[in-house]
Chain A
Amino acid sequence: MTKELSRRNSLLLSRMKRYLPFIIVVGVALVTFGSGAMLYHAKRPQLKAIPEDKALSANSGSESMHIRGNPDAPVTLEEFGDFQCPPCGSFARFAEELLKEYDSRVRLIFRHFPLSAHEHAREASLAAEAAGLQGHFWEMYDVLYREQAVWSKAPNTRELFESYAGTIGLNVDQFKKDMDGEQAKARVDSDYARGESLEIKVTPTLYINGQPVDPKDKNPEGVRAAINAVLAGKPHA
């Protein structure tokens, strides 16, 4: 009787040993997949479409926004960007190609959304606004993104911004005053508040005619497809 019990126990143990690695592997796979999926749902930005009262009409006043491309273009690509964010720099290069490719059919609107994690991002936004007050916003935008790797790590960011101002032909004294002025600050704050009201968390965040571009489509193919859908009269999101 005891022998029989012991034989059964040893058989059970051997079976358990046989199946245990499979159970462990499947268990870890399930836990990993489950926690990954939960994290994904928690982190996935729930972007809202821009509400009617905050929407831009195709011919919204250009003096209140930084518009690149044809101001009357049927497609508006609105970007919430941070000058210190590398993906925003990549997007800036792509946006330039896009504007050439779609010619008069697409316009780009830039909104400041300097992330607090980037110590020089707000200062860079102020530099762009100060340049904008002299009518050279986009020239500064281009320089800031082109030189991002340099000024992001430099201890003398302010001096660099001033040298960029000189390079693009600005009145540097005026630029210095404007960088510290209320007008540039108010403009950056206003863009940031708009981004916050749309619950933006990351940059670049893109909207095409008021509809958010899904994070997974934030690549050249995805953006082109969304623009083509709008041009073809289909909603993209």
Chain B
Amino acid sequence: MTVSRFRTVLYTIVAIVAVAGLADATYLTVQALTGETLSCGGSPDCFRVLGSSYGKLGGIPVAMLGALAYFTVFTFAIFAAFGYSCAQRFVALIAGAMFLMTLWFLYVQAFLLHAYCRYCLFSAALTFLIAGLLIAVPPSGRRSGA
């Protein structure tokens, strides 16, 4: 497999993982908007997290921001898979920011709320996977798009 082909495959996997994250975050966004944080899998810990003050940022559900972030990663990963070099930089930038936010939310769950939301942990795992895949992408030379 050539380096270019390998890169395309990795970005395609990143895009697929981002779609999984998008689905998870969309589900949580709907729950937040309908006030159904209570029935999230029947787990009390889950809504202790989602119903907490950390569940919103400036009045916007964090899940909605997460959905937006996953969609952005998906978009740039697709373009990167098609060879758009500047998309590769953007996907790395957004994924880096998501990685840091994920660390913060894990800290909040572990040390401030003492409760874990399984949907949030799933999202954290996906973010780590995306970050791992992006680290594995071989550095590219300058390319001028598709």
| A residues in contact (CB < 8 Å) with B | 17-18, 20-21, 24-25, 28-29, 32, 35-36, 39-40, 43-45, 82, 84-87, 90, 115, 117-118, 149, 152, 201-203, 215-216, 218
Contacts and interface: CB of A to CB of B under 8 A. Distances in A.
Contacts of B82: 17, 20-21
B35 A202 contact: yes
Interface residues of B, number: 33
Smallest CB-CB A-B distances: 10 pairs: A215-B35, A117-B42, A87-B51, A43-B34, A39-B30, A21-B82, A36-B26, A86-B51, A21-B78, A86-B48
Contacts of A21: 78-79, 81-82, 84, 146
Contact of A115 (B26, B38, B74): B38
Nearest to B70: A32
Contacts of B114: 149
Given A87-B51, A152-B44, A44 B34 contact: yes
A17 B27 contact: no
A86 B47 contact: yes
A24 B18 CA distance: 13
Interface of B: 19, 22-23, 26-27, 29-31, 33-39, 42-44, 47-48, 51-52, 67, 71, 74-75, 78-79, 81-82, 84, 114, 146
B30 A86 contact: no
Given A32-B67, A85-B38, A86-B48, 11 more contacts: A21-B84, A21-B146, A24-B78, A25-B75, A32-B23, A36-B29, A44-B34, A85-B47, A90-B51, A117-B43, A201-B39
B30 A43 contact: yes
Contacts of B26: 32, 35-36, 39
Given A86-B51, A90-B51, A152-B44, A216 B33 contact: yes
A45 B35 contact: yes
Nearest to A152: B44
B24 to A, nearest CB: 11
Contacts of B31: 43
Nearest to B52: A86
A236 B42 CA distance: 32
Contacts of B43: 117
Nearest to A118: B44
20 contacts: A20-B82, A21-B82, A21-B84, A25-B75, A32-B22, A32-B71, A40-B34, A43-B31, A43-B34, A45-B36, A82-B38, A84-B44, A87-B38, A87-B51, A115-B38, A117-B44, A118-B44, A215-B33, A215-B34, A215-B35
A55 to B, nearest CB: 23
Nearest to B59: A219
Contacts of B44: 84, 86, 117-118, 152
B116 to A, nearest CB: 13
Contacts of B39: 115, 117, 201-202
B146 A17 contact: yes
A186 B142 CA distance: 75
A17 B48 CA distance: 46
A186 to B, nearest CB: 25
A28 B71 CA distance: 9
A46 B23 CA distance: 24
Contacts of A45: 34-36
Contact of A202 (B23, B27, B38): B38
